[in-house]
Structure 1
């Protein structure tokens, strides 16, 4: 058993921002399932949104975020983040993280969908996430210990189940290790891999959200999945992300005969909010019509988008023709572990930041390039919160590892799970298909798996289990929300129901071994 002041599970922007901003007298452990760069943050192409242009304003950024989120957002949280965004960007820039600049040394700003102004800060063209992650890794202080290939599979609570005091992890040699700390932070990213078409890293299987749910933390908004409109599509498979910044630079979506598909659909046309663009492309693909991104109007495409160009050439796309075949795929979950803006969950001692958390900032549909920003923002907030209280940090006591039930039931085949989730709980949903998926998932005894001991399972079995738990929660939430809003589109309820649903959240929280719908208890937050 190893003891630390703070344990951080994950290595994306939120995790690394937190680690770098914690005071140097804290003993901090970062645990990662694979290596430090095997996550969604490292793959992020587009950039970071911030109102840093002379004619822009954080309030305009706020309005765009609220509109993209279908006004399901926590307005106060959104405004707090957009006001902080310029300071966060300038802090990175002045610390040595290089962003792209114009000939006068000013930040070069891009446009993306649903933004009213050019405010996307990027680095290396379409390599923003990689550059920012590498910068943060290079700046990690000596009080941070990193243990890679440590698969966290369970949270440890005290005997009264009133506080999180540590985690269990499976190491590469097959042994299990316990890590104990006063502060346990889930920064494990999203769950895009539960769908067959996705832009996400292979590590994005919903681990942190499933861990929190098994421990009894409150989850919310699990039905809101953002499907990115443009994934490279070759030979029946998605091969990687084509950033929204490409459309921001002037690319348009067309059929094979050149018809523009977004004209007349939305005033912003190809830069409409992501759920509208995704649903439009999906509509064509259901009729067997392949959609392409026409990039012929973009000068020096390979210089502006080196990563995307390399990806396309690698998969046999003839770039001189100016047409990239695309389909939508899962990209981001707006819901997750319910937290405040310090990352505090409903379980004292347990925190969540980044895509695994739901702060209410993204609402029903995340505004482009707000994800890296939110990670920077909440990561900083949590660091400040822990730093203020560092003098009072003490080692957890009353450590008690309960004996759990052994269960050796069947789990869904991951490939079948991914395909059925895409077909039945994907971009376009309706009761008939959601019910079919819920019934199929129920066959695998969800409740028994929630109570089961996991120590004997392999990493592959654990991944399948976490994917299964997340798929069940998303499907249940999608069935319950009888309206369409943001990333949740119901063909049988195609309109927003503002009278009943605009701010209503579906909360999942285990009580006495069962899932229940509960009001989130603010008083349960760690203090």
Structure 2
């Protein structure tokens, strides 16, 4: 058992921004399921959006964010984050030389889809996440204790006060450990690994969302999954992300014979909103036609995009031919643990920041390069709030000891099958019949009733994947319209009258646990 002032689950940009800005007299512990540098934030090629250009203004950035989010956004969240963006970027740029600059020494600004101005700040060409993350990692103070390869799996609650006071976790040895803190923060990222095609790190399985759901926290907007239009696609497999900045620099989407596919589809053509571009590419792939990014118009491609060049070369793509085969894949979840603008969840003492949270910034579809911005903003805001609180009174269970528990292998479905079914039935194009099939398939495993104390860490991740997949599927079934990242072929249009800002909120009814014995096996079909 360990006692800390702040326990942070996850090690992405939101988590490290928070940890680095907390007062040094606070004891801070970071728990991460894998390694610190195996996160979506570290992999992020695209940049950070901020209205700092001569012709730009935060009001324009706000409009672009609302338009991309199909006006499902929380406008207060949009205005606060976007207004704070320029100062966040300038302050960060003053701390080190990790952003790209032009010949005048000014921050180089790129263009990405659905933006009306060049406002994307990059680092290392297409290694923005890595550059910023290395800076944050190297600037962690001595009061921050990082524990890698630790799987957090159950929040510890004081049920009388509806307050979260800690978290259970397991290391590689499988032993249960308890971490108590005055402030418990989930910053474990999204759920991209639920799909067979994804840009996400291997560890991003929806753990934090599922864990908060099982504790009774409100989960919102899970039907809105963003599929990035352009992942490198070879022999039926996706091999890595091809940043939207490539299209921002002039690349266009074409068929094998060179026919542009976005002509007449959207006014912004290849730089249209991600859900529009993804759906268009998906239509061609379903009809057996490969889609390529034509990069022949981009001068010195390898210098501008060194990381993408390396990915392509590693997979045998000859960039001199000017074409990169692409396919869409899951990239970002707009929903998550429902929070206010500070990061407070519906459970006292439990906070969520980064992609695992939902304060309404992104609405139904995230505007490109607003995600790293959100993490920086949320980490900063929550640090200021916690710093003002000072050291809280630590609560712990009366009996904090725990007996050794034998771990048992539970019968779970083949996760690759689940990912394939999610892609087919709850992916880019959805309909009632397929969603009901998937609900039935997921429901048979009763994943929310399994005793996680007796499960191996690898099985815990699979269980969380099943729970999060169920939340997405159920939400997608309930929303009978198409909006942003949620497209229903049987309800292909937006329904502003019924659905414009109506959110679907899920809350686990814990009495289910009290009325049923824990199920230690799940029946696979």
TM-score by length of 1: 0.95
Greater CA drift, 161-170 or 210-219: 161-170
Distance (whole Å) between structure 1 residues aligned to residue 31 and residue 344 of structure 2: 19
Aligned-partner SS, 1:510: coil
8 Å contact kept, 1:412–1:468 = no
Q: How many residues align?
A: 510
Give, in angstroms, the shift of residue 157 of structure 1: 0.7
Aligned-partner SS, 2:203: coil
For residues 133-212 of structure 1, the aligned pairs below 5 Å read: 133-160=133-160, 162-212=162-212
Distance (whole Å) between structure 2 residues aligned to residue 379 and residue 155 of structure 1: 21
Aligned-partner SS, 1:149: coil
Deviations 1:471-510 (A, max 9, x none): 1110000000000000000000000000000100000002
Distance (whole Å) between structure 1 residues aligned to residue 2 and residue 81 of structure 2: 35
8 Å contact kept, 2:167–2:179 = yes
Give, in angstroms, the shift of residue 96 of structure 1: 1.4
- Runs of 5+ unmatched residues, structure 2: 514-525
Distance (whole Å) between structure 2 residues aligned to residue 93 and residue 241 of structure 1: 25
In the alignment, what sits opposite 1:429? 430
Deviations 1:409-448 (A, max 9, x none): 6322111100000000000000011111111111112xxx
Distance 1:116 1:139, change over 3 A: same
Distance (whole Å) between structure 1 residues aligned to residue 37 and residue 484 of structure 2: 30
For residues 8-87 of structure 1, the aligned pairs below 5 Å read: 8-87=8-87
Aligned-partner SS, 1:511: coil
Aligned-partner SS, 1:7: strand
- Runs of 5+ unmatched residues, structure 1: 516-527
8 Å contact kept, 1:451–1:513 = no
Distance (whole Å) between structure 1 residues aligned to residue 295 and residue 151 of structure 2: 41
8 Å contact kept, 2:172–2:457 = no
For residues 338-357 of structure 1, the aligned pairs below 5 Å read: 338-357=338-357
Aligned-partner SS, 1:182: strand
Distance (whole Å) between structure 1 residues aligned to residue 220 and residue 479 of structure 2: 12
8 Å contact kept, 1:48–1:370 = yes
Give, in angstroms, the shift of residue 511 of structure 1: 2.6
Q: Does 1:396 align with 2:405?
A: no
Distance (whole Å) between structure 2 residues aligned to residue 374 and residue 364 of structure 1: 15
8 Å contact kept, 1:429–1:489 = yes
Q: Aligned-pair RMSD on alpha carbons?
A: 1.6
Give, in angstroms, the shift of residue 156 of structure 1: 0.7
8 Å contact kept, 1:15–1:187 = yes
Distance (whole Å) between structure 2 residues aligned to residue 182 and residue 415 of structure 1: 38
Correspondence for 2:465 among 464, 467, 483:
467
8 Å contact kept, 2:408–2:454 = no
8 Å contact kept, 1:409–1:444 = no
In the alignment, what sits opposite 1:417? 418
Give, in angstroms, the shift of residue 153 of structure 1: 1.1
Aligned-partner SS, 1:95: coil
In the alignment, what sits opposite 2:106? 106
Distance (whole Å) between structure 2 residues aligned to residue 282 and residue 187 of structure 1: 31
8 Å contact kept, 1:97–1:132 = no
